[in-house]
């Protein structure tokens, strides 16, 4: 009987459970394995630090003119040389990082918010609401983005603020169509159907269920869109429709130095390198975020 009692006693076993890892921690772990993404992140952080501490880094003022030093080659006094007004190019590039990053971040922030809201509304409600919003996006995308930006700035007037508004407007359809397609698939999930069945309001469903589950493409598209916005801001500046003198915007610096390409090539090379490195950094970081956050990119 004692042996039978021992055999009938519950046998306790220690089951080792796998550690539950949140999707964001898993994405960060995957992101850290991408060497190019880390390089891009380092470049982006470097330019952000330069923009924040520009007054401490720049050895000269952005508009300090010494006509006797005009078009000097790079030297110990002027690391990247001087322009046609004798201004230090390194100092102007450092301060120009503030303008380019400011336009890139805030233009994309505005376009992502407006585009995401319109995309969510179009995808969730459908019917005539979706038709109106989607056809508006199609019309905007029918124009080359830079031409549409030029038209908007021509109407509003050339300035850095109006260039930011134009860049934000032309990027709205990209976010709107992306989020609309995401919402069309998310709203068919069972938890959305259950939320509707218990009488949850549409506003709460959109803000608490659909929007959080649509953040991944917004983050990826946003990081890549900043690079595009910086190029578009430089293009508007090059055409004289963006930042106005004496603001040291990189595109405007290229336009001012185009007549000295042979005589003083450094006046164009270094602002161009600043644009290239910044855009490269955001593109590499955006590609890394896409690989880390998109399930279709994982094995």
219 part of a folded domain: yes
71, with CB counted inside 10 A (0-12, 13-18, 19+), is middle
Q: Quick one: which H or E segment has residue 253?
A: helix 250-257
In which domain, by residue range, is 280 found?
A: 46-297
In a domain, 7, yes or no: no
Residue 30 lies in a domain: no
Query: What is the residue-level pLDDT of the chain in tens, covering all 299 positions?
Result: 445 445 544 444 444 444 455 666 777 777 788 888 899 999 999 999 999 999 999 998 888 887 778 888 888 888 898 888 889 999 999 999 999 999 999 999 999 999 988 998 888 887 888 899 999 999 999 988 889 999 999 999 998 899 999 999 999 999 999 888 888 877 777 777 777 777 777 777 777 777 777 778 888 888 889 999 999 999 999 998 888 888 888 999 998 888 888 888 999 999 999 999 999 999 999 888 888 776 555 54
Q: Is 97 contained in some domain?
A: yes
Is 12 a domain residue? no
* Residue 88 domain-assigned (yes or no): yes
Give the model's pLDDT for residue 15.
40
The CATH number of residue 146's host domain is 1.10.3720.10
Question: Does a structural domain hold residue 18?
Answer: no
Number of domains in the chain: 1
Does any domain span residue 271?
yes
Q: Which two tokens stand for residue 145?
A: 């983005």
What pLDDT is stored for residue 17 in this prediction?
A: 43
Residue 27 CA to its chain's centroid (Å): 18
Contact assessment for residue 215 and residue 132, using Cβ atoms and an 8 Å cutoff: no
* Cis ω before 200 (30° cut-off from 0): no
Q: Which of 62, 82, 63 is nearest to 72 (CA)?
A: 82
pLDDT value at residue 170: 94
Cα–Cα nearest to 247, from 166, 149, 159, 157: 159
């Amino acid at each position: 009987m004692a042996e039978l009692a021992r055999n009938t006693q519950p046998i306790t076993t220690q089951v080792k459970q796998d550690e539950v890892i949140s999707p964001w921690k898993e994405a960060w772990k995957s992101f850290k394995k991408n060497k190019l993404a880390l390089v891009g992140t380092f470049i982006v952080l470097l330019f952000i630090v330069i923009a924040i501490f520009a007054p401490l880094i720049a050895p000269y003022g952005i508009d300090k003119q010494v006509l006797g030093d005009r078009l000097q080659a790079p030297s110990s006094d002027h690391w990247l040389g001087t322009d046609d007004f004798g201004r230090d190019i390194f100092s102007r590039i450092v301060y120009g990082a503030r303008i380019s990053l400011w336009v890139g971040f805030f233009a994309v922030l505005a376009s992502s918010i407006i585009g995401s809201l319109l995309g969510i509304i179009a995808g969730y409600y459908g019917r005539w609401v979706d038709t109106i919003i989607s056809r508006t996006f199609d019309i905007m995308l029918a124009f080359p983005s830079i031409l549409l930006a030029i038209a908007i700035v021509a109407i509003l007037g050339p300035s850095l603020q109006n260039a930011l508004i134009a860049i934000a407007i032309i990027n709205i359809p990209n976010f709107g169509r992306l989020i609309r397609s995401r919402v069309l698939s998310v709203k068919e999930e069972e938890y959305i159907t259950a939320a509707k069945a218990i009488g949850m309001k549409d506003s709460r469903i959109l803000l608490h269920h659909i929007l959080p589950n649509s953040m991944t493409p917004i983050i990826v598209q946003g990081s890549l869109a900043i690079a595009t916005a910086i190029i578009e801001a430089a293009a508007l500046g090059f055409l004289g429709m963006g930042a106005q003198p004496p603001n040291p915007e990189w595109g405007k610096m290229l336009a001012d130095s185009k007549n000295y390409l042979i005589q003083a090539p450094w006046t164009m090379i270094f602002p161009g390198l600043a644009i290239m490195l910044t855009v490269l950094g955001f593109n590499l970081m955006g590609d890394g975020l896409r690989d880390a956050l998109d399930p279709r990119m994982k094995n």
